[in-house]
Protein backbone atom coordinates (compact mmCIF):
# COMPACT_ATOMS: atom_id res chain seq x y z
CA UNK A 1 0.00 0.00 0.00
CA UNK A 2 1.38 3.48 -0.85
CA UNK A 3 2.35 5.76 2.03
CA UNK A 4 0.59 8.77 0.51
CA UNK A 5 -3.14 8.94 -0.15
CA UNK A 6 -4.20 10.32 -3.54
CA UNK A 7 -5.97 13.24 -1.86
CA UNK A 8 -2.72 14.40 -0.28
CA UNK A 9 -1.28 15.24 -3.71
CA UNK A 10 -3.95 17.91 -4.19
CA UNK A 11 -3.70 21.49 -2.92
CA UNK A 12 -5.47 24.85 -3.11
CA UNK A 13 -8.94 24.80 -4.66
CA UNK A 14 -8.61 21.04 -5.10
CA UNK A 15 -8.21 20.44 -1.35
CA UNK A 16 -11.42 22.01 -0.04
CA UNK A 17 -13.86 19.16 -0.61
CA UNK A 18 -16.12 18.42 2.40
CA UNK A 19 -15.52 14.70 1.92
CA UNK A 20 -11.79 14.58 1.28
CA UNK A 21 -10.14 17.99 1.17
CA UNK A 22 -7.10 18.30 3.40
CA UNK A 23 -7.82 22.04 3.79
CA UNK A 24 -11.42 21.53 4.97
CA UNK A 25 -11.21 21.52 8.77
CA UNK A 26 -14.90 20.54 9.03
CA UNK A 27 -14.66 17.76 6.46
CA UNK A 28 -14.50 13.98 6.69
CA UNK A 29 -10.88 13.70 5.53
CA UNK A 30 -11.42 10.65 3.33
CA UNK A 31 -8.08 9.21 2.27
CA UNK A 32 -7.67 6.69 -0.55
CA UNK A 33 -4.63 4.42 -0.63
CA UNK A 34 -4.47 2.87 -4.11
CA UNK A 35 -2.20 -0.15 -4.60
CA UNK A 36 -2.90 -0.67 -8.29
CA UNK A 37 -5.72 -3.11 -7.63
CA UNK A 38 -7.64 -1.88 -4.63
CA UNK A 39 -8.29 1.42 -2.90
CA UNK A 40 -8.39 1.21 0.88
CA UNK A 41 -9.66 3.64 3.50
CA UNK A 42 -10.32 3.24 7.23
CA UNK A 43 -12.73 5.50 9.10
CA UNK A 44 -13.79 5.59 12.76
CA UNK A 45 -17.27 7.14 13.17
CA UNK A 46 -17.63 9.62 16.01
CA UNK A 47 -20.60 9.75 18.41
CA UNK A 48 -22.22 12.51 16.31
CA UNK A 49 -22.18 10.31 13.18
CA UNK A 50 -25.10 8.27 14.49
CA UNK A 51 -28.58 7.61 13.04
CA UNK A 52 -30.13 5.44 15.76
CA UNK A 53 -28.56 4.14 18.96
CA UNK A 54 -25.57 2.05 17.91
CA UNK A 55 -26.10 2.60 14.18
CA UNK A 56 -24.01 4.76 11.79
CA UNK A 57 -25.87 7.42 9.75
CA UNK A 58 -26.44 6.28 6.16
CA UNK A 59 -25.76 9.67 4.61
CA UNK A 60 -22.30 9.63 6.13
CA UNK A 61 -21.72 6.21 4.58
CA UNK A 62 -22.77 7.58 1.17
CA UNK A 63 -20.29 10.44 1.55
CA UNK A 64 -17.47 8.05 2.41
CA UNK A 65 -18.26 5.97 -0.67
CA UNK A 66 -18.46 9.10 -2.83
CA UNK A 67 -15.03 10.52 -2.07
CA UNK A 68 -13.24 7.21 -1.71
CA UNK A 69 -14.51 6.03 -5.10
CA UNK A 70 -13.71 9.32 -6.84
CA UNK A 71 -10.26 9.16 -5.25
CA UNK A 72 -9.94 5.63 -6.62
CA UNK A 73 -10.92 6.82 -10.11
CA UNK A 74 -8.33 9.62 -9.97
CA UNK A 75 -5.54 7.35 -8.72
CA UNK A 76 -6.30 4.69 -11.34
CA UNK A 77 -6.35 7.33 -14.09
CA UNK A 78 -2.85 8.55 -13.15
CA UNK A 79 -1.66 4.96 -13.17
CA UNK A 80 -3.22 4.28 -16.56
CA UNK A 81 -1.39 7.30 -18.00
CA UNK A 82 1.87 6.17 -16.40
CA UNK A 83 2.21 9.42 -14.47
CA UNK A 84 2.99 10.17 -10.81
CA UNK A 85 -0.16 10.91 -8.79
CA UNK A 86 -0.96 14.62 -8.63
CA UNK A 87 1.32 15.53 -11.56
CA UNK A 88 0.23 18.14 -14.10
CA UNK A 89 -1.98 18.27 -16.02
CA UNK A 90 -4.18 17.59 -13.04
CA UNK A 91 -6.63 14.71 -13.25
CA UNK A 92 -9.97 15.36 -11.56
CA UNK A 93 -13.27 13.48 -11.60
CA UNK A 94 -16.77 14.49 -10.50
CA UNK A 95 -19.54 12.19 -9.34
CA UNK A 96 -22.27 11.53 -11.92
CA UNK A 97 -24.00 8.70 -10.06
CA UNK A 98 -23.75 7.21 -6.58
CA UNK A 99 -25.71 4.05 -5.82
CA UNK A 100 -25.60 2.65 -2.27
CA UNK A 101 -27.00 -0.62 -0.92
CA UNK A 102 -27.34 -0.74 2.86
CA UNK A 103 -27.04 -4.45 3.63
CA UNK A 104 -27.31 -4.34 7.42
CA UNK A 105 -26.99 -1.70 10.17
CA UNK A 106 -23.43 -0.40 10.35
CA UNK A 107 -22.40 -0.54 14.00
CA UNK A 108 -21.04 2.42 15.91
CA UNK A 109 -17.84 1.72 17.82
CA UNK A 110 -16.07 -0.24 15.09
CA UNK A 111 -13.48 0.95 12.61
CA UNK A 112 -14.99 0.89 9.11
CA UNK A 113 -12.98 -0.43 6.18
CA UNK A 114 -13.75 0.64 2.61
CA UNK A 115 -12.27 -1.38 -0.23
CA UNK A 116 -12.78 -0.21 -3.81
CA UNK A 117 -11.86 -1.46 -7.26
CA UNK A 118 -12.31 -0.35 -10.85
CA UNK A 119 -15.17 -1.88 -12.82
CA UNK A 120 -14.72 0.13 -16.01
CA UNK A 121 -12.40 2.81 -17.39
CA UNK A 122 -13.69 4.02 -20.73
CA UNK A 123 -13.16 7.47 -22.21
CA UNK A 124 -13.99 10.09 -19.59
CA UNK A 125 -16.11 7.63 -17.55
CA UNK A 126 -14.84 5.42 -14.73
CA UNK A 127 -17.08 3.07 -12.76
CA UNK A 128 -15.90 2.12 -9.27
CA UNK A 129 -17.34 -0.52 -6.92
CA UNK A 130 -16.77 -0.41 -3.17
CA UNK A 131 -17.64 -2.40 -0.05
CA UNK A 132 -17.81 -1.00 3.48
CA UNK A 133 -17.16 -3.52 6.24
CA UNK A 134 -17.21 -3.41 10.02
CA UNK A 135 -15.49 -6.19 11.96
CA UNK A 136 -14.96 -8.02 8.63
CA UNK A 137 -18.71 -8.02 7.93
CA UNK A 138 -19.94 -6.17 4.81
CA UNK A 139 -22.54 -3.59 5.86
CA UNK A 140 -22.98 -1.62 2.62
CA UNK A 141 -21.74 -1.54 -0.92
CA UNK A 142 -21.81 1.05 -3.66
CA UNK A 143 -21.20 1.74 -7.30
CA UNK A 144 -20.00 5.19 -8.33
CA UNK A 145 -19.85 6.62 -11.84
CA UNK A 146 -17.11 9.25 -12.08
CA UNK A 147 -16.72 11.57 -15.05
CA UNK A 148 -13.37 13.14 -15.81
CA UNK A 149 -13.55 16.91 -15.39
CA UNK A 150 -9.89 17.79 -16.07
C1 LIG B 1 -8.23 13.04 -5.44
C2 LIG B 1 -9.54 13.66 -5.57
C3 LIG B 1 -9.63 15.03 -4.99
C4 LIG B 1 -10.95 15.73 -5.07
C5 LIG B 1 -12.14 14.78 -5.18
C6 LIG B 1 -13.41 15.55 -5.09
C7 LIG B 1 -14.57 14.58 -5.15
C8 LIG B 1 -15.86 15.35 -5.19
C9 LIG B 1 -16.98 14.43 -5.60
C10 LIG B 1 -18.18 15.32 -5.81
O11 LIG B 1 -18.95 15.50 -4.90
S12 LIG B 1 -18.37 16.10 -7.34
C13 LIG B 1 -19.85 17.11 -7.07
C14 LIG B 1 -21.11 16.35 -7.41
N15 LIG B 1 -21.18 16.09 -8.86
C16 LIG B 1 -21.52 17.08 -9.70
O17 LIG B 1 -21.77 18.20 -9.34
C18 LIG B 1 -21.59 16.70 -11.17
C19 LIG B 1 -22.77 17.41 -11.86
N20 LIG B 1 -23.00 16.81 -13.20
C21 LIG B 1 -22.25 17.20 -14.25
O22 LIG B 1 -21.41 18.10 -14.19
C23 LIG B 1 -22.48 16.46 -15.52
O24 LIG B 1 -23.77 15.89 -15.54
C25 LIG B 1 -21.42 15.33 -15.73
C26 LIG B 1 -20.04 15.96 -15.89
C27 LIG B 1 -21.41 14.33 -14.57
C28 LIG B 1 -21.76 14.54 -17.01
O29 LIG B 1 -21.97 15.46 -18.04
P30 LIG B 1 -21.31 15.19 -19.47
O31 LIG B 1 -21.93 16.15 -20.44
O32 LIG B 1 -19.81 15.19 -19.35
O33 LIG B 1 -21.80 13.70 -19.74
P34 LIG B 1 -22.02 13.00 -21.14
O35 LIG B 1 -23.44 13.16 -21.55
O36 LIG B 1 -20.95 13.44 -22.12
O37 LIG B 1 -21.79 11.46 -20.77
C38 LIG B 1 -20.48 10.94 -20.58
C39 LIG B 1 -20.65 9.53 -20.04
O40 LIG B 1 -21.09 9.64 -18.68
C41 LIG B 1 -22.31 8.94 -18.51
N42 LIG B 1 -23.13 9.68 -17.56
C43 LIG B 1 -23.38 11.01 -17.59
N44 LIG B 1 -24.17 11.35 -16.56
C45 LIG B 1 -24.44 10.20 -15.90
C46 LIG B 1 -25.21 9.89 -14.75
N47 LIG B 1 -25.86 10.83 -14.06
N48 LIG B 1 -25.25 8.61 -14.34
C49 LIG B 1 -24.57 7.65 -15.00
N50 LIG B 1 -23.81 7.88 -16.10
C51 LIG B 1 -23.75 9.14 -16.54
C52 LIG B 1 -22.94 8.91 -19.92
O53 LIG B 1 -23.86 7.85 -20.05
C54 LIG B 1 -21.71 8.71 -20.78
O55 LIG B 1 -21.32 7.36 -20.72
P56 LIG B 1 -20.71 6.61 -22.02
O57 LIG B 1 -19.41 7.33 -22.32
O58 LIG B 1 -20.53 5.19 -21.62
O59 LIG B 1 -21.74 6.80 -23.10
CATH code of the domain containing 130: 3.10.129.10
pLDDT at residue 2 above 90?
Answer: no
Is residue 10 included in any domain, yes or no? yes
Cα dihedral 113/119/125/131 (nearest 10) = -20
State which of 96, 124, 127 you would mutate to test the pocket of ligand 1, scoring each by most atoms of that ligand within 8 A of its C-beta: 96
| pLDDT tens digits, one per residue of 120-140 | 999 999 999 999 999 999 999
For the complex shown, is ipTM > 0.90?
Answer: yes
Instruction: Give the pTM.
Output: 0.98
pLDDT of residue 1: 79
Structural domain of 120: 6-148
C-beta of 63 in contact with ligand 1 (< 6 A): no
Q: How many domains does the chain have?
A: 1
Q: Would you say 60 and 49 are in contact if contact means Cβ atoms under 8 Å apart?
A: yes
Is residue 1 included in any domain, yes or no? no
Is residue 94 included in any domain, yes or no? yes
CA distance 122 to 133: 28
Strand partners, 141: 101, 131
Amino acid sequence: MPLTAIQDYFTGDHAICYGCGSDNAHGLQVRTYWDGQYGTFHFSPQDYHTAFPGVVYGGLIASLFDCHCIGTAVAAAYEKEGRPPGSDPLIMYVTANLNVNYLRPTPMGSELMLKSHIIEQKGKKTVVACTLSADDTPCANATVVGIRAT
